[in-house]
Chains A and B, each alone.
Chain A
Amino acid sequence: MRRIALLVLLLTACERAPTTLDVSHGQTLVHAMLPAGDSLAAVLITTSAPGPENVWLKITEKAVSGARVQLESASGRVELVNAPTDDACTGFPPPLTENPDLAEGCYVGVVTGGIQPGVRYTLIDLPSGRKVTGATTVPFPPSFIAPAAGAQIMTGGVQGGKEPIHVRWAGTDKAPYVTLVAGIVNEPACNVQLRSSDLFGLSLVHVTPFDSVALQSITVSCPGQSQPVQRAAELVLTAYDSTYTEYIKGSWIGSRTNAEASAGLSGAWGVFAASASARLPVTFVPAP
């Protein structure tokens, strides 16, 4: 009996009742990215809510409709309207484990002359009488130096003595966070992975603060297609503002601080940020 008691004691020593966290549902969430040159600005406003048992993390989102959302810059003020059916609102996918109609919380407005680099935009958002403000300054777009537009780039990896693909660019000196990605034109479901021996990243390569990268391999995988084929693609080099930099920094580790989780915002979690991209059309050619 004593042995059993001792064994039980030893086993229970490895456990301490966990403390269930108060998730504090009902938090207001705002997500917005203003890409330089776009004429349409879209903002998603949601609240977190308790989820059913089978929902990961037991949280879900509910759209917030009926808010008054305004985007303001030196050149004027734009009223964003609740436009659940607008194409811009499809850019906010819901969590995989739930399927609420988040588009009800999407607000869209046309920015006359497009979103301008160097301009500071502020968000004034009044959902349910609660004041949420945000601010961001749009960065200037970078430009590619190499490879040349339309270049044929061999995919499938460069192992076996092949030369790496050198990508060079300019205009990111002042950007706090810069990424390089590749996409297949008109085939958003395809996944392109870029590998560099020097830098982190697969589908998205973090290239701050460099002005070039040697890609060791590019691999393309498209759903339902096992044979590699030649595809029209583009390299996308994106510079982000400081608020998105703060926001994304928190996702590199397991948890975020208050500042990281409400980057550029006051009164809500999420991010109100801006970006500027350069797009380089290329052709991906499968390696023989």
Chain B
Amino acid sequence: MIAYLFVLLSIGAGIQGTVRTRSSLEPIPGAVVTIPELKRTVTADARGYFVISDVPEGRWNVEASALGHATHALTVVSTGTGVIRIDFELAVEPVRIRDLEVRGGQAGEDQGGVRANTSAGPPAVRVDVASLRLQPGLAEPDVLRALQVLPAVGSISDLSSALYVRGGASDQNLITLDNIPLFNPYHLGGIFSAISAGAVSRVDVWAGAQPARAPGDRLSSTVAIHSRDGGRDQLRGEGAIGLISAHGVIDGPLPGRKGSYLLAGRRTYIDPAIAAANKLGLTDFRMPYGFSDLYGKATHSVGLLGTVSASAYLNSESIDFPESMRTDSDGDLLFNWGSRMFSVGYRQALNAYLLLDARAGYSDFHGSFDWWDSDFATEPPAKVLDGRTLARDLLVGVDLTWYRPSHTLLFGLQSDNYLFEHRLESDSGFVNDSVLLQSFNRAARERTVAAYVEGEFQLSDDFDLRVGLRHLGTDDLGNAWLPRAALRWKLGDYVAVSASAGRFAQAIRSMRNDESYVASILAYDLLTAQEKEAGLSRGDEVTLGAEWARGASTIRLDAYAKRMNRLVLPHTLEAPLDMTALTIDEYRIGTGSVRGLELLASHRVGETRYMLSYALTRSSRRVGSDVYIPRFERRHMLDATAITSLGQSGVFSTRVSWGSGQPFTPVETVVVDRTFDPATGTWRYPNAAVIVGTHNSDRLPAYFRVDVAARKQFTTQWFGRETKLSPYVQVLNLFNTHNVMFGELMPAAEPRLQYTPQLPILPTFGIEWRF
């Protein structure tokens, strides 16, 4: 509870400063700073920076609060001129049971003492790492999977971490890390997201209703992952080992304590362990697969309120056949793929009311896929598969925020230079004869320049308005003006209503065909530029929302309607197992529409937090005379989570998910089928033809899953330091429900629809430690 007061010479009158965690001095993003007497409330930005403008002459109480921290209040005296600088340092106040935070939406005050800020429109949803750890999950805390508990966010299968937001495809979401796009941040085909939870401070999800300043141009959502800075006082570390991988995070001060660093790494450990055993002659088996990811960041203070930061992210996976597998399979296989991200950022308060935020970055997803066919005894290896993929973005951007007495103006500019190069060649019939995959070669470049101006106006104590205009310019796909507007109106102490509308545009698309079953198994998007023939894909969305918050309960309800056009869709519609995995040069241009209702409610009773999430989604795609429901849609999705204390230092959580079945194409009948032989002028011996009905006109069985997790914390001493150990156990799909991924037509013996299951019961356990 230390406050530094500086009076600076500057224009206007106001309070400016930062909110940080005591001791470590890590910024607290989203901390709320208020002057109760003036009914003035502002929210600190991603780096804990805040400005309260136009503070009149007088003696005022200023409070700073943040979830998981003790509230701190102090008194300042304003002369009506100049600037008062306050740097809050809030003591950590652990909250064992915490949940998702709906930013900017609370009409009242929640249990944690975090008061609402005033932000127009439906709020973003914020997920912090502490709440991530409490969600029952797959093997280990997963940044992207945790978002699937939100009503706006769906998934196509248990095997995929890819996000499907409000009836949009997975390529309509922008995932950023430190404001730089991330491409395909997944491991193991998408089962895990490839972002170490230990490096993340919070995740903001803008599902629809994105403001003009949102850091990307996508039709459905922006998922902004913010990393931690690391502490500036001492070395800290944490780690975990689970069934799949082990990870570790260390952070500490840079020399001079003017900055900090953070290093996080994760790696599968089974493959190197077996390789070591192999070298020692203990086994002749070697694991052909492994993954790793590494994140590093350094932040340094510049001037009074400025920082310069640099970060790097690497994730890689590989399949490399060991000798024994080469012999057994008469071939050799070497697949390497992954993504990289590098960023540098500079922030500086140019004066008391003007904040500059600049960034430059590089991001890519790359891969090489080689397969040789040979028996290694009588013939030399022949390359039968040669695949390469690269999706790259080189960007530079700047944002300016101008804090005024009753409004904030934001300006920004960002240029993205994309390069896409994808190639798949095969000398065998393996690829060319496959219905799912064909040889192809595709390269594309695209440059986009986005500029925006946006104003946030507090028109009265109860009414906030946000108006913005974004412009997206491209080299080949045309330009788009993208107006955005939102308002929020507080109706009394507990209720608020909000509305937003906006137009969105997108210059890139994924070639992955969501109608193919491959999309249920592989989350990776194969990105390329939008087709020139189609131009920028566009979307218009309107959202109406209402929220109620009182005491320990909150309810938020949103209704939305969205339409999209110039979508690149598959050129034919078949059953999922018969559809090509990629939509490359053969495509159709169509439209989409989505309407939906979303409910997010939470309630706390003592040490137990309940959360309920429900989504009703009606989406469709129209192309030519075909109108169909996209395969990833679940008409109803209900998710209930309960998190409760387990003794003095434990937490037990359970999550129940129920969803209506995904669409599939029904079988109408099976008939005898003949083909004509022109050589003999006769019909060939007949086959059987499975006749399918209208695409996606029926539904698979409903989805039901119960996950449970329990963790307990122990404190001990390691190397003279207090260390907290948290063993955990999780059981995914506790009742082993046979949820269906897709139905496969089996035209043999007795014709039937064979269901391919999703994840079975999956118990996992591990241990985390922190010092």
Q: Hey, which bits of chain A sit against chain B, CB under 8 A?
A: 6, 9-10, 12-24, 27, 29, 31, 33, 35, 38, 44, 46, 48, 56-59, 61, 90-96, 179, 181-183, 188, 192, 200, 204, 234, 236, 238, 244, 248, 250-258, 261, 269-271, 273, 275, 277
Asked if A250 and B678 make an inter-chain contact with CB atoms under 8 angstroms apart, the answer reads: no
Asked if A91 and B670 make an inter-chain contact with CB atoms under 8 angstroms apart, the answer reads: no
Interface residues of B in 652-694 (CB under 8 A from A): 665, 667-693
Residues of A within 8 A of B667 (CB): 21, 255
Asked if B752 and A19 make an inter-chain contact with CB atoms under 8 angstroms apart, the answer reads: yes
Asked if A93 and B685 make an inter-chain contact with CB atoms under 8 angstroms apart, the answer reads: yes
Name the residue on A nearest B679 (C-beta): A183
Asked if B690 and A254 make an inter-chain contact with CB atoms under 8 angstroms apart, the answer reads: yes
Residues of B within 8 A of A35 (CB): 681
CB distance from B334 to the nearest CB of A (A): 26
Asked if B738 and A181 make an inter-chain contact with CB atoms under 8 angstroms apart, the answer reads: no
Residues of B within 8 A of A29 (CB): 671-672
Known interface pairs A14-B757, A18-B755, A261-B689; A90-B672 also in contact (CB < 8 Å) = no
Q: What 6 pairs across the A-B complex have the smallest Cβ distances?
A: A13-B760, A183-B679, A91-B682, A238-B678, A16-B738, A253-B578
- A-B contact list, 27 entries, CB within 8 Å: A15-B757, A16-B740, A17-B755, A18-B754, A21-B751, A23-B670, A33-B676, A48-B670, A56-B748, A61-B686, A93-B682, A93-B683, A179-B678, A181-B679, A200-B432, A234-B679, A236-B679, A238-B678, A253-B435, A255-B574, A255-B665, A255-B667, A256-B692, A257-B574, A261-B691, A269-B691, A275-B676
Bound Cα distance from A183 to B146, whole angstroms: 62
Asked if A57 and B753 make an inter-chain contact with CB atoms under 8 angstroms apart, the answer reads: no
Asked if B673 and A251 make an inter-chain contact with CB atoms under 8 angstroms apart, the answer reads: yes
Name the residue on A nearest B429 (C-beta): A200
Residues of A within 8 A of B578 (CB): 253-255
Known interface pairs A46-B672, A56-B749, A248-B675; A9-B761 also in contact (CB < 8 Å) = yes
- Name which of B435, B695, B750 has the most chain A CB atoms within 10 A of its CB: B750
Residues of B within 8 A of A252 (CB): 435
Bound Cα distance from A253 to B436, whole angstroms: 10
Bound Cα distance from A271 to B673, whole angstroms: 9
Known interface pairs A13-B736, A59-B672; A251-B689 also in contact (CB < 8 Å) = yes
Residues of B within 8 A of A261 (CB): 671, 673, 689, 691
Determine which of A93, A257, A277 lies in contact with B684 in the assembled complex, contact meaning CB atoms within 8 Å: A93
Residues of B within 8 A of A93 (CB): 682-686
Bound Cα distance from A182 to B678, whole angstroms: 9
Known interface pairs A236-B679, A244-B676, A269-B691; A58-B750 also in contact (CB < 8 Å) = yes
Given contacts A13-B738, A33-B676, A188-B679, 5 further A-B contacts (CB under 8 A): A10-B736, A255-B574, A255-B692, A261-B671, A269-B691
Residues of A within 8 A of B682 (CB): 90-93
B451 within 8 A of A: no
Name the residue on B nearest A59 (C-beta): B670
CB distance from A271 to the nearest CB of B (A): 8
Determine which of B577, B685, B757 lies in contact with A96 in the assembled complex, contact meaning CB atoms within 8 Å: B685
Asked if A182 and B681 make an inter-chain contact with CB atoms under 8 angstroms apart, the answer reads: no
CB distance from A262 to the nearest CB of B (A): 8
B433 within 8 A of A: yes
Residues of B within 8 A of A58 (CB): 749-751
Bound Cα distance from A282 to B291, whole angstroms: 59
B745 within 8 A of A: yes
Name the residue on A nearest B691 (C-beta): A261
Asked if B670 and A21 make an inter-chain contact with CB atoms under 8 angstroms apart, the answer reads: yes
Known interface pairs A23-B751, A46-B672; A258-B693 also in contact (CB < 8 Å) = yes
Asked if B435 and A182 make an inter-chain contact with CB atoms under 8 angstroms apart, the answer reads: no
B575 within 8 A of A: yes
Bound Cα distance from A166 to B669, whole angstroms: 43
Q: Hey, which bits of chain B sit against chain A, CB under 8 A?
A: 432-433, 435, 573-575, 577-578, 665, 667-693, 695, 733, 736, 738, 740, 743, 745-755, 757, 760-761
Asked if B688 and A56 make an inter-chain contact with CB atoms under 8 angstroms apart, the answer reads: yes
Query: Interface of chain A, helix or strand or loop or mixed?
Result: mixed
Known interface pairs A9-B760, A59-B671; A18-B752 also in contact (CB < 8 Å) = yes
Known interface pairs A181-B678, A257-B692, A261-B689; A10-B761 also in contact (CB < 8 Å) = yes
Bound Cα distance from A252 to B755, whole angstroms: 23
Known interface pairs A59-B688, A261-B671; A255-B745 also in contact (CB < 8 Å) = yes
Asked if B674 and A236 make an inter-chain contact with CB atoms under 8 angstroms apart, the answer reads: no
Residues of B within 8 A of A33 (CB): 676, 683
Residues of B within 8 A of A10 (CB): 736, 760-761
Asked if A20 and B574 make an inter-chain contact with CB atoms under 8 angstroms apart, the answer reads: no
- Name which of A19, A57, A91, A236 has the most chain B CB atoms within 10 A of its CB: A57
Name the residue on A nearest B751 (C-beta): A21
Asked if A48 and B671 make an inter-chain contact with CB atoms under 8 angstroms apart, the answer reads: yes
Asked if B688 and A57 make an inter-chain contact with CB atoms under 8 angstroms apart, the answer reads: yes
CB distance from B352 to the nearest CB of A (A): 62
Asked if A57 and B761 make an inter-chain contact with CB atoms under 8 angstroms apart, the answer reads: no
Asked if B679 and A31 make an inter-chain contact with CB atoms under 8 angstroms apart, the answer reads: no
Asked if B669 and A57 make an inter-chain contact with CB atoms under 8 angstroms apart, the answer reads: no
- Name which of A21, A238, A253, A271 has the most chain B CB atoms within 10 A of its CB: A21
Name the residue on A nearest B743 (C-beta): A19
Bound Cα distance from A57 to B673, whole angstroms: 12
Asked if B670 and A95 make an inter-chain contact with CB atoms under 8 angstroms apart, the answer reads: no
Bound Cα distance from A57 to B578, whole angstroms: 19
Residues of A within 8 A of B672 (CB): 29, 46, 48, 59, 61, 95
CB distance from A87 to the nearest CB of B (A): 11
CB distance from A184 to the nearest CB of B (A): 9
Residues of A within 8 A of B747 (CB): 57, 254
Asked if B749 and A57 make an inter-chain contact with CB atoms under 8 angstroms apart, the answer reads: yes
Known interface pairs A93-B683, A254-B745; A20-B750 also in contact (CB < 8 Å) = yes
- Name which of A16, A19, A90, A250 has the most chain B CB atoms within 10 A of its CB: A16
Asked if A31 and B674 make an inter-chain contact with CB atoms under 8 angstroms apart, the answer reads: yes
Residues of A within 8 A of B681 (CB): 35, 38, 91
Bound Cα distance from A19 to B752, whole angstroms: 6
Name the residue on B nearest A9 (C-beta): B736
Asked if B678 and A277 make an inter-chain contact with CB atoms under 8 angstroms apart, the answer reads: yes
Bound Cα distance from A70 to B204, whole angstroms: 70
Name the residue on A nearest B695 (C-beta): A257
Residues of A within 8 A of B754 (CB): 18
Known interface pairs A94-B686, A255-B575, A255-B692; A236-B678 also in contact (CB < 8 Å) = yes
Bound Cα distance from A35 to B474, whole angstroms: 54
Asked if B683 and A91 make an inter-chain contact with CB atoms under 8 angstroms apart, the answer reads: yes
Residues of B within 8 A of A236 (CB): 678-679
Bound Cα distance from A19 to B693, whole angstroms: 16
Residues of A within 8 A of B668 (CB): 24, 258
CB distance from B765 to the nearest CB of A (A): 14
Residues of A within 8 A of B673 (CB): 251, 256, 261
Known interface pairs A200-B433, A244-B676; A16-B757 also in contact (CB < 8 Å) = yes
Known interface pairs A10-B760, A46-B672, A256-B692; A15-B749 also in contact (CB < 8 Å) = no
Bound Cα distance from A16 to B757, whole angstroms: 7
Residues of B within 8 A of A253 (CB): 435, 574, 578
Bound Cα distance from A22 to B693, whole angstroms: 13
CB distance from A197 to the nearest CB of B (A): 10
Residues of B within 8 A of A273 (CB): 676
Name the residue on B nearest A244 (C-beta): B676
Residues of B within 8 A of A48 (CB): 669-672
CB distance from B575 to the nearest CB of A (A): 5
CB distance from A206 to the nearest CB of B (A): 12
Residues of B within 8 A of A275 (CB): 676, 678
Asked if A251 and B690 make an inter-chain contact with CB atoms under 8 angstroms apart, the answer reads: no
Bound Cα distance from A139 to B469, whole angstroms: 57
- Name which of B668, B672, B749, B755 has the most chain A CB atoms within 10 A of its CB: B672
Residues of B within 8 A of A16 (CB): 738, 740, 755, 757
Residues of B within 8 A of A91 (CB): 680-683
CB distance from B158 to the nearest CB of A (A): 11
Bound Cα distance from A27 to B750, whole angstroms: 17
Known interface pairs A95-B672, A96-B685, A255-B690; A18-B678 also in contact (CB < 8 Å) = no
